[in-house]
A = this chain, B = another copy of it.
Amino acid sequence: MKYLVTGAAGFVGSHLTDALLARGHEVVGLDNFSTGQDRFLEEAGHSDRFTLIRGDLRDGFTLRRGIEGVDAVYHMAANADVRGGLAAPRVDLEQNTIATFDVLEAMRAAGVSRIVFASSSAALGEPEQVPTPETCPIPSQTSLYGASKMACEGFISAYCEGYGFEGYAFRFVSLLGPRYPHGHVFDFVKQLLADPSTLRILGDGSQRKSYLHVEDCVRALMQICEDVRPAIRGPRKFQVYHLGVPAFCVIRDSVRWICEELGVSPRLEFGTGNRGWIGDNPFVFLDVQKAMSAGWAPSHTIESSVRETARWLVANRWILDRRR
């Protein structure tokens, strides 16, 4: 099969690209390199089944060029800076909601009708039901990022109903693993490498979070949308899956694992309250039974993912120092 992967030079997109190529597929990768990294595509670049398009989704010509002739689209490109939403709210609208709509329209024009979408647990706001299943009540959004992702899901599902598209949305918890470009492990390792004596933590450290290894994530996308796809197609052509591990940690645990990996014993400076920032959900824990019933299971624990990520960041300090 031939796939377009948007955001192919990003954290998830590059792992997905590698995994699709490893399965023998052709991949067209599209990225504007606003946050994507050339180094993430070094491995893919060695394959003659990989084509890279440097350009912006929001340029119609680039998008049409990327979609031409593919069997399906893995739409991973997004503004992933959840915390930055309040400083520039239009970014989430434009780069997530409108850009996804543009992808749908370009697909329709090109006769491509299968889309796999990277949604987020952030689109669930602060659910009362924890662990949170796909059938949870309509959320009150707590971040512009979450609102923009849920809006994408809505438009994709409307395209499934109205134009016969086949859509898969995966709401995943925060991911960890090699090429991890931002988030709390990134922030902590960066701080500790600069000054091992002190670690400042947003919030009181009691936030309970679930983390998934990026390799487990991309395996779920492929298993569900390729392997078990025929079995799960019901009357509705839009399917949602929650992805995470059936466990959670508290931020204080993660701090301990990171400090052990780095061999440091900093003084910890906690903030107040159980939210790191406005929109931070103090308890992220998804019910992943639906994905597991489809034959998928995560292979990494949260602890091993945090530790591996910390080691990768130490070995790849360039990413901590990059301008963007």
Contacts and interface: CB of A to CB of B under 8 A. Distances in A.
Contacts of A238: 140
Nearest to A137: B135
Contacts of A22: none
A138 B140 CA distance: 11
A160 to B, nearest CB: 8
Nearest to A128: B135
A272 B125 CA distance: 41
Interface string A66-99: 0000000000000000000110011001000110
A158 interface: yes
A144 interface: yes
Contacts of A85: 158, 162
A161 interface: yes
Interface stretch (A147-155, A255-263, A287-295): A147-155
A97, A140, A151, A238: which has the most chain B beta carbons within 10 Å? A140
Contacts of A162: 85-86, 89, 142-144, 278-279
Interface in A91-113: 93, 97-98, 101, 104-105
Given A101-B93, A105-B89, A155-B147, A141 B161 contact: yes
12 contacts: A85-B158, A89-B159, A90-B105, A97-B97, A98-B98, A125-B161, A136-B138, A138-B153, A141-B158, A144-B162, A148-B154, A161-B279
